[in-house]
Amino acid sequence: MSKMFRTVRGMRDYLKEDRWRLNYVNSIVRELYYKYNYDEVSTPIVEFFDLVAAKAGAEIREKMFVFEDKGGRLLALRPEMTAPIARLYIENLMRSAPKPVRLGYIGTCYRYDNPQRGRYREFWQAGFELFGSDYPESDIEILNIAYDLMGKLGFTEFKIKIGHIGVLRSFFSVIKIPDELQDTILGLLDKREMGKIEEIMKENNIPENAVKLFYNILNLKGKEYTTIINQLNNLLSEYPEVLGEVEKFTIILQLLSKLDIFKKIEVDMSLARGLEYYTGLIFEIFVEGLDIAVGGGGRYDKLVELFGGEHTPAVGFAAGIDRLIIAMDERNLFRKPLEKKILITPLTPRQIPACFITASKIRELGYKTEVDVLRRNIKRALSYAVSNNYSIIIFIGEKEEKENKVTVKKLDSGEQHTINVEEISSILTPVVNRY
């Protein structure tokens, strides 16, 4: 008996409706690439392990699909897109392109996650990356795109949680926590493993008052950003290096407070992300009913340099398309255009060319048009068209062919006309579709 093959665990086929939903979201993402002047780029699915592992963070690093190629090179399926896009920037654009450089991408990523709702081993990310500016307006631009995307997809209720890794890292540095340990603590914070953080603090003899201060910082959250900033300034008054980072965060919040997006913003100083490349602002987008983020991003000013490029500040974000689709489905946000399908049936094989010529004319008008390829007779063609939601059926028989005519039957009204081929556009008004 032959073997039945199935999709690999955690990976999915996209049938008609699924693929349509994916395309629908992608077309809105692409509309934003255009409107914000981002150039869409793509990179290979396979990268050198060292590149994607460098700052992926312990959790993602462990979940990578890693393999050796026949040349003995250690490769991996990309677990996220920022590192590959930073590589692409250095390899192709850093020396030649005027700054800032705005890049967009839509692609699949791979992580050996435990498959469940909203968590797959192959999933789609759509992102925006802005290279070359460390001014807060570039942070604002990225946040604004995220806000715009959510609105354009149809979401009204969503939250953008924002935090600042620069504040946390500079605090860690003044209390002498080395970079690697910082990565570990931030990774645990992302997973809310507070017990383990406490253990690490103890093991590394971090003074109790510093640990207490750290927890006090983490507890700052809410919509009242001025209160949070005041508290940060008070808590950290003895650490001028950290206050510099607080000041950067303050400026971002002040700018945001003047924009529409502000009503969706919630500050959360305990926000951390698994990826280790973040240096400043970080954020995650949440919708009701899904406790995992539908998107996230932040500032990563040292990644390009780490990959051998020149110092290039950068900020970006990625939306998790699969999770957005789940949330959109739950809210009924997909808007299907009313589609008009047309079936053209030759009554004998001799009318096949006439059917194809007519089909081309109708496709030009924007209709989804098929020529029957199963040689159905009138009766069977009609019942097939009715039960499969065609709106119009067109017959071409010998008589029609001779007179250069077609018989058009509208299935909703039952109306039927035999008209000249050239007159088709007078009864079929042109339609515009989102594919």
Q: Of the two residues 13 and 412, which places its CB atom closer to ligand AMP in the complex?
A: 13
Q: Using CA atoms, how far apart are residues 161 and 185, in angstroms rounded to an integer?
A: 20
Beta strand pairing status for 295-299 and 281-287? antiparallel
Q: How far is the CB of 10 from ligand AMP (least distance, A)?
A: 8
The DSSP H or E segment spanning 392 is: strand 392-396
Question: How far is it, in rounded angstroms, from Cα 382 to Cα 395?
Answer: 10
Please, which residue, 57 or 309, has the CB nearer to ligand AMP? 57
Amino acid at position 407, single letter:
T
- In whole angstroms, the minimum distance from the beta carbon of 419 to ligand AMP comes to 52
What is the rounded distance in angstroms from the CA atom of residue 156 to the CA atom of residue 263? Answer: 11
Joined tokens for residue 307: 């990959």
Cβ 323 to ligand AMP shortest distance, Å: 4
Instruction: Give the burial class of 334: count Cβ atoms within 10 A of its Cβ; 0-12 exposed, 13-18 middle, 19 or more buried.
Output: middle
Q: How far is the CB of 66 from ligand AMP (least distance, A)?
A: 16
Residue 80 or residue 401: which is nearer to ligand AMP going by CB? 80
Of 115 and 308, which CB lies nearer to ligand AMP in the complex structure?
115
Shortest Cβ 318–ligand AMP spacing (Å): 5
Q: How far apart are CA 286 and CA 205, in angstroms?
A: 36
Instruction: Name residues whose C-beta falls within 8 Å of residue 186's C-beta, 6 or more positions apart in sequence.
Output: 165, 168, 169, 272, 273, 276
Q: How far is the CB of 290 from ligand AMP (least distance, A)?
A: 9
Task: Please give the residue whose beta carbon sits closest to ligand AMP in the complex.
Answer: 320
Name the residue nearer to ligand AMP (CB basis): 296 or 346.
Answer: 296
Instruction: Show the DSSP H helices in 107-178 as ranges.
Output: 136-153, 165-174
Nearer to ligand AMP, 120 or 395 (CB): 120
For the record, the structure tokens of 97 come out as 């392109």
- Please give the DSSP secondary-structure letter assigned to residue 66: E
Report whether 319 contacts 123 (CB < 8 A). Answer: no
Please give the residue ranges that form the binding site for ligand AMP (CB under 6 A).
Answer: 80, 111, 113, 118-120, 123, 125, 273-275, 293-296, 318, 320, 322-323
| Closer of 87 and 111 to ligand AMP (Cβ) | 111
Q: How far is the CB of 61 from ligand AMP (least distance, A)?
A: 12
If residue 379 lies in a helix (H) or strand (E), which one and from where to where? helix 378-387
CB of 312 to ligand AMP, least distance (A): 20
Strand pairing of 265-268 and 158-164? parallel
- Reading the block at residue 432, the tokens are 């515009």
CB-nearer residue toward ligand AMP: 164 or 273: 273
